[in-house]
């Protein structure tokens, strides 16, 4: 509309402009309010979705931690059982090694039966000529009564059940025969 064609009073013109300005402002504010409402609704929806996602993530973390703890406990129990078994084996081996050491003589010397060595039957495979020297032994029946000296290069077995002492020399290793 052209303002010159219509004879309008200046006051009325200002009033129309003011009304139009107010109407335009109301429309703009309404549009902004609508946009803000939509944004708030979207923001609330997003916040709700984020909250739900965080809750699912927290549940997943808790479940994973519980599964990891259970797996740790299972593995730890298995390792504890294995360690106990290995400890029993170590003790058995140590006992057998101690028994073997207690029932083996390889150094030349005089051994008192019942004190230095156990009574019973003792055996040597001899040296087999490996060192070129002969082995020898003497069985003592009492403190003052040595027996005769036996020289050997091969296997030999002697019963020390009633002997007082056992003297050995040479490169042979003597092992007590289990009863």
* pTM summary value: 0.49
Using the 3D structure, point to which of 102, 136, 168 is the last residue of a domain: 102
Structure-block tokens of residue 45? 């929806």
Asked if residue 145 and residue 73 are part of one domain, the reply reads no
Alpha carbon 74 to chain centroid, angstroms = 11
Asked if residue 87 and residue 3 are part of one domain, the reply reads yes
Asked if residue 130 and residue 79 are part of one domain, the reply reads no
Asked if residue 132 and residue 97 are part of one domain, the reply reads no
Round to whole Å and give the CA distance between 28 and 30: 5
Give the domain extent around 14: 1-102
What is the model's pLDDT at position 130?
Answer: 66
Provide the mean pLDDT of the chain.
Answer: 83
Asked if residue 167 and residue 79 are part of one domain, the reply reads no
Q: What is the pLDDT of residues 7-30, one digit of tens each?
A: 555 676 777 777 877 777 777 787
Q: What is the pLDDT of residues 60-88, one digit of tens each?
A: 888 889 999 999 999 999 999 999 999 89
The residue-averaged pLDDT of 99-125 equals 89
Round to whole Å and give the CA distance between 121 and 119: 7
Using the 3D structure, point to which of 68, 102, 136 is the last residue of a domain: 102
Q: What is the CATH number of the domain that holds 148?
A: 2.60.120
Report the domain count for the chain: 2
């Amino acid at each position: 509309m052209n303002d010159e064609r219509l004879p309008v009073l200046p006051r009325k013109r200002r009033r129309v402009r003011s009304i139009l300005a107010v109407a335009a402002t109301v429309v703009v504010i309404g549009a902004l309010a609508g946009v803000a409402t939509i944004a708030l609704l979207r923001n609330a929806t997003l916040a709700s979705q984020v909250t739900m996602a965080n809750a699912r993530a927290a549940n997943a973390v808790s479940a994973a931690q519980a599964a990891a703890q259970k797996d740790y406990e299972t593995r730890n129990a298995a390792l504890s059982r294995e360690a106990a078994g290995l400890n029993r084996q170590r003790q058995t081996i140590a006992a057998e090694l101690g028994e073997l050491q207690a029932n083996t003589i390889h150094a030349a010397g005089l051994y008192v039966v019942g004190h230095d060595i156990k009574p019973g039957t003792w055996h040597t495979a001899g040296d087999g000529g490996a060192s070129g020297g002969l082995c020898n032994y003497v069985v003592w029946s009492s403190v003052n009564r040595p027996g005769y000296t036996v020289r050997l290069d091969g296997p030999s077995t002697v019963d020390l059940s009633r002997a007082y002492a056992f003297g050995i020399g040479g490169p042979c290793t003597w092992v007590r025969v289990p009863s």
